[in-house]
Amino acid sequence: MFAVGGIQLESISSSDAWELFNREVGNVIDSPEITPYAKVVVDNCWYSRLIILAVGSALSGESSVEEWQLAAQIQGSPGRGDKDDSLNPHIKYCYDRLKACDMKRCFLYCALLFDNKIIHVSVLAKCFINEGLLDGTTMAAYNRARDIVRQLIKASLLEGNDKTMMVKMHDVIRNSALAILSSTIEGRQIFLRRGLRRLGAEQGDIHSFDKYLIKVDAHLKESPPLSEWEEATAIFLMDNEFSSIPSMPSCPKLASLFLQRNPYLRVIPTNFFSSMHSLTNLDLSNTRIRSLPDSLCQLKSLQVLLVRDCEHLITLPSAIGQLISLLVLDLQGTKLLNLPDTTRELSNLKSLKVSFHGTVNHTEYKNLPTKVIGDGIISSLQLEELGIFVYPGDRRWTVGVSNIIKEVTHLMLSIFYFHFCAIKNLSHFLQENKSWVDGNVTKFNFIVGHDFKRAVSLVTKDAESMHSCSERCLRFVNGETIPYDVVEVLKRATSLYLDHHLSLHLLSEFGIDNMNALKICILSDCPKVWAIIHQEQDGDIILPRLEYLSINSLYSLKSIIVGHRVIGKGSFDMLKCVSVRMNPKLRFLFTCSMVKCLLNLEELMIDDCVSLECIVIQDDMTDKYSDDHFDVNLHLPAATGENVVFPNLKVLKLHYTPKLLGFGRCTWPSIEYMSFYNCPMLKRLGLTTDDAVNIKEITADRAWWNSLEWDEPALSQRLEECFTQIQLDDV
């Protein structure tokens, strides 16, 4: 028995330690070049079961002798149990061996949550997503979170199993994670949202968090007592329920304060920041504050200020320019009336993201400041990252955007989010901004055209989230032509959102080769689009990197691909998700030859396609789709005895498809989740016993489910265990 950081650890015999380590590492340990180093590693782990499991997992399958030499050099003694032993060198080594950056961030964040607690995996996933540690759609981020937890369990950095879905973290590992969190650049980075992490890490000084105040997701109705604030160097009070904080805490050592996602916090006391002169990081995101106190401007050391998604915040202190050390100012998701003129004095500011309140109501418009950003503010700053988010249709932006563009032109940007109201604005930026010309704008989100705010979005929130989370986004709205400058942006874009184009007939009019970088493609409300792609010749490679395709409210749409039928190898090679919604003339979705390209398709969602009669049709029947009397049912793949396989499809949703007749001989051996609603003509699912092996849940209306016809009655009984009555919230 020995102590690490004051925590007792039990040791095992040397023979048991070697056997355990051998089992974790695998056969590679038998190599005569590796065995001597492996024995040194086990000895240096103090024969602790906990540490041997973690280090063994980290070295599992490692065949590099150099890596084993490095591992054997890790020293450390059991220690006396004082604070100096909190960072276990072996746990730090295991952390360094984690390959994915998002996994490292999530591991460190776990240290804030696990304080003698056992937590459900779904709660962990929600925390990772809320903190912005994971990108992508909610579902994709949730799946990634689950995968990360499993891998951390496999790495012996968390304890738990898939059956209970409950996990915990050993105190020795937690203390080491807290030490990494407090003393390293990468530890500090996890609290900088996505694109800001790199910038903050490069510029920010590192303060060790010698004394923490950690009450994360602790359901606090009141903030901790004043005495707990005073000696803290870092305070973590995220996700609580208190509505007030101390009026003027004396926190001379406080370097970082995290108060985000406290939904009942409405007021920051006037003198709250008066005695926090060492504060460098402040996060007030997702609170209900309406303003920031003037004492904020006394924080001469503040480098990172995050006030993201504070929808009630409308003003900033007029003396905001006194924050002379500020590097990062994130005001995205607020409703500021304008930027204070003193913003121009933030000479060290590298990253600015800001959202503005706006209106199309003439009466309200007259009461707003005449400009959202005053002349000369942007040109006075040395920004590398700039994001400006405005209310769709706000005349103040329409009138003033040309001047803003002229000021932006001189910035050396790597990240740029902007709304170009007119093509001439975009053209000016593309020609004059050196960063763009040189290819140094590595992340952008451009809206091009006269934007407008819909009462109800025609695109799902998940689709919009995927678009906005992509690295290089282009949303082209209310277009009437295909401008050269839009095509130039498209060539670099990873996500295209085509919204209400008035003259386009085919997406491929933009040029198939100009869309090769696209990972996400969303089409919405383009009234003349009758097909997505016209294939000019056999063998064309179509959208080889596309992962997500969302087709919404295309009134004239009749087909996805028309033209030559031999689709080039590599087409749709990475497509994982297809969502088709509100396309009233669409009678079929895929041809047999297209399905052969969809080897990686995992999700297929069809909603409110009232003319859809089948999912897949024979290639030689596509020319007759325009014949209203054409009997699609006679030309399903079943008519030729041809099997159509979706080998990796896991999710199938069919809602409001009243004319859907069947699937033909479609098979989906990997299907896990199926959902049906208002499919009255669909009488058979066509599932086989092999298809049903992986099914976990089927949601549908009970009466419809009971009326289905089955070729295998035993399969019906087996799937009854997976059936769940569909809820209105699911459709």
Q: Are 48 and 5 in contact (CB under 8 A)?
A: no
- Residues in CB range of 374: below 8 A, 6 or more apart: 338, 339, 341, 344
Q: Which residue has the tokens 């803290």?
A: 232
What pairs with residue 416 in β-bridges? 386, 444
Smallest CA-to-CA distance from 500 within 456, 546, 554, 461 is with 554
Within 10 Å of residue 114's Cβ, how many Cβ atoms?
Answer: 22
Distance CA 608, CA 588 (A): 13
pLDDT of residue 456: 79
Cβ burial, residue 455 (10 Å; 0-12/13-18/19+): exposed
Sign of CA dihedral 432, 436, 440, 445: positive
How do residues 158-177 score in pLDDT, each as one tens digit?
A: 998 766 779 999 999 998 99
**199-205: long-range pairs with CB below 8 Å, 24+:** 199/327, 199/328, 199/350, 199/351, 199/384, 199/385, 200/303, 200/304, 200/327, 200/328, 203/303, 203/327, 203/350, 204/280, 204/281, 204/303, 204/304, 204/327, 205/280, 205/303
What are the start-end ranges of the E strands in 104-168? 119-120, 159-160, 166-168
Distance of CA 134 to the CA centre of its chain: 5
* pLDDT tens-place string over residues 573-622: 999 999 999 999 999 999 888 999 999 999 999 999 999 999 998 877 76
Q: What is the pLDDT of residue 122?
A: 84
Please tell me the predicted confidence (pLDDT) of residue 205: 45
- Find, among 315, 379, 326, the residue nearest to 350 by Cα: 326
pLDDT for the residue 136: 63
Question: What is the second-level CATH architecture of the domain 98-184?
Answer: Orthogonal Bundle (1.10)
Residue 359: per-residue pLDDT = 82
Residues of the chain with pLDDT under 50: 1-2, 77-84, 194-195, 197, 200-207, 638-639
Tokens of 717: 């009984």
Say what the pTM is: 0.84
Q: What are the domain boundaries of the chain?
A: 2-84, 98-184
Q: Beta partners for 580? A: 551, 606
How far is 689 from 699, CA to CA, in rounded Å? 19
pLDDT for res 455: 74
